[in-house]
């Protein structure tokens, strides 16, 4: 396969973490091309005595820039990386930088799959020994019911093709199991999902069902999804901080802590976003992935490995076909605004 274009400049610990993470992934056979300031990247190579392909980009979209800036800043690392994908020189693109800008660049450069109103970020929530896919995790703050229907189809196909789930179940995130419970958006989306061919619609799920792993996929608007994702990460972080503090609170606890450390570390690892890999932007006509701004080398490595799996699955083609058949069966008509 063509190399994966890694925006080496976007993110808190870049380019160090991208260079290091890319080296690890390349050592395991993942083809990578780093995109960014060639001089800075090569300094990192020199320190490590190794080298990988680089595409130069003189500019970087910073976290406080506007997402729309990608439109005119064609020399930014994310824009250059996305163009490599469009021109067939890269198989996909990953950025740990400004996620709004990454989405904007993906839409602008790669375009949308036919039948997709809005691409969505697919993220993973740990649930026991597997992960629940949650989308949209933040691309679209205001959604219409039919967007959620499209998310359901895309999420379901992703869970099937990439995560290997057979007939994945899809839940609609709401505030009560009964179909009439929720807000205007979910009540209308519930009706649409009931009539959506090709998905195993489970019905409404609640906040507690995410970690319980009630369904394979959960769909929601990007506002709720992003609040849920950041709350989940923040709670895990807070909880482990309290546990560390408690295990340090007495001599007996400290002694016990030595014995339980490796067991607790396994649990903490399950909750570490650096382990999940990158989040695919589903609905874009190509492979684009968004990583955490605070990604470490390990997160970059995981992201590259999971991106390779996703690209190899050919899920973009599956989603393209899936959305085409959705369009064929959905009655044409005005879609009521559900938010």
Name the site residues for its own copies (rule: CB under 8 A).
127-128, 138, 141-142, 173-175, 181-184, 186, 206-212, 220-224, 226-239, 242-243, 246-247, 249-250, 252-253, 255-264, 266-267, 270-271, 339
Q: Which is nearer to its own copies, 72 or 208 (CB)?
A: 208
Question: Which residue, 175 or 317, is less far from its own copies as judged by CB?
Answer: 175
Q: What's the closest the beta carbon of residue 196 comes to its own copies, in angstroms? A: 22
Contact 299, 274 (CB under 8 A): yes
Choice between 255 and 317, CB closer to its own copies: 255
Least spacing, CB of residue 113 vs its own copies, in Å? 24
Give 20 or 136: the residue with its C-beta nearer to its own copies.
Answer: 136
Residues 149 and 136 sit within 8 Å (Cβ to Cβ):
no
Q: Which lies closer to its own copies via its Cβ, residue 51 or residue 206?
A: 206
- Beta carbons within 8 Å of 117's beta carbon, 6+ residues apart: 144, 146, 147, 150
Query: What length is written for the chain?
Result: 339
Q: Cα(101)–Cα(97) distance, rounded to whole angstroms?
A: 8
Residue 206 · residue 175 · CB < 8 Å: yes
Minimum CB distance to its own copies, residue 262 (Å): 8
Nearest distance from residue 239's CB to its own copies, in Å? 6
- Of 31, 4, 14, whose CA–CA distance to 97 is shortest? 14
Question: What would you measure as the largest C-alpha separation in the chain, in angstroms?
Answer: 69
Query: Alpha-carbon torsion 24, 28, 34, 40, what sign?
Result: positive
Under 8 Å between Cβ of 188 and 172: no
Shortest Å, Cβ 301 to its own copies: 24
- The rounded radius of gyration (Å) of the Cα atoms in the chain is 21
Q: Whose Cβ is closer to its own copies: residue 91's or residue 99's?
A: 99
Q: How far is the CB of 186 from its own copies (least distance, A)?
A: 8
Q: 227 — phi, psi (to 5°)?
A: -60, -45
Please, where are the H alpha helices in the chain? 16-27, 38-48, 77-86, 99-109, 145-161, 184-194, 207-212, 222-247, 251-270, 273-276, 297-313, 315-329
Our CB check for its own copies shows the closer of 34 and 120 to be 120
* Beta carbon of residue 63, minimum distance to its own copies (angstroms, whole number): 10
Give the residue carrying structure tokens 């039919």: 146
| Shortest reach from residue 172's CB to its own copies, in Å | 12
Nearer to its own copies, 98 or 305 (CB): 98
Q: Is 15 exposed, middle or buried (0-12, 13-18, 19+ CB in 10 A)?
A: buried
How many CA atoms lie within 13 Å of 207's alpha carbon, on the beta-carbon side? Answer: 10
Are 107 and 282 in contact by the 8 Å Cβ rule? The answer is no
Q: Which is nearer to its own copies, 263 or 332 (CB)?
A: 263
Nearest distance in Å: CB 151, its own copies: 16
């Amino acid at each position: 396969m063509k190399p994966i274009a890694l925006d080496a400049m976007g993110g808190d610990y870049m380019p160090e973490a991208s260079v290091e993470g890319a080296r690890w992934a390349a050592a395991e056979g993942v083809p990578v091309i780093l995109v960014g300031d060639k001089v800075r990247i090569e300094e990192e190579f020199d320190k490590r005595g190794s080298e990988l392909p680089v595409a130069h980009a003189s500019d970087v979209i910073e976290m406080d820039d506007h997402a729309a800036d990608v439109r005119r800043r064609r020399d930014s690392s994310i824009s250059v990386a996305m163009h490599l994908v469009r021109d067939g020189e890269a198989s996909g693109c990953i950025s740990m930088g400004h996620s709004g800008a990454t989405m904007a660049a993906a839409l602008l450069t790669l375009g949308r799959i036919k039948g997709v109103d809005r691409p969505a970020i697919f993220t993973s929530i740990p649930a026991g020994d597997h992960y629940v896919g949650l989308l949209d995790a933040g691309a679209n703050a205001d959604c219409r019911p039919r967007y959620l229907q499209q998310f359901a189809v895309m999420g379901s196909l992703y869970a099937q093709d990439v995560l290997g789930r057979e007939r994945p179940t899809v839940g609609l995130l709401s505030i009560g199991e009964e179909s009439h419970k929720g807000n205007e958006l979910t009540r209308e989306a519930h009706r649409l999902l009931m009539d959506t061919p090709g998905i195993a619609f489970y019905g409404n799920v609640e906040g507690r069902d995410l970690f319980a792993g009630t369904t394979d996929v959960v769909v929601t608007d990007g506002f709720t999804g992003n609040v849920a994702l950041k709350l989940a990460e923040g709670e895990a972080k807070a909880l482990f901080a309290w546990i560390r503090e408690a295990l340090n609170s007495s001599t007996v606890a400290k002694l016990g802590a030595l014995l339980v450390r490796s067991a607790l570390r396994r649990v903490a690892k399950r909750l570490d976003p650096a382990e999940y890999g990158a989040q695919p932007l589903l609905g874009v006509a190509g492979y684009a992935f968004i990583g955490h701004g605070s990604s470490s080398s390990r997160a970059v490595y995981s992201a590259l490995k999971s991106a390779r799996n996703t690209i190899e699955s050919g899920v973009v083609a599956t989603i393209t076909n899936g959305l085409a058949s959705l369009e064929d069966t959905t009655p044409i008509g005005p879609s009521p605004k559900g938010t």
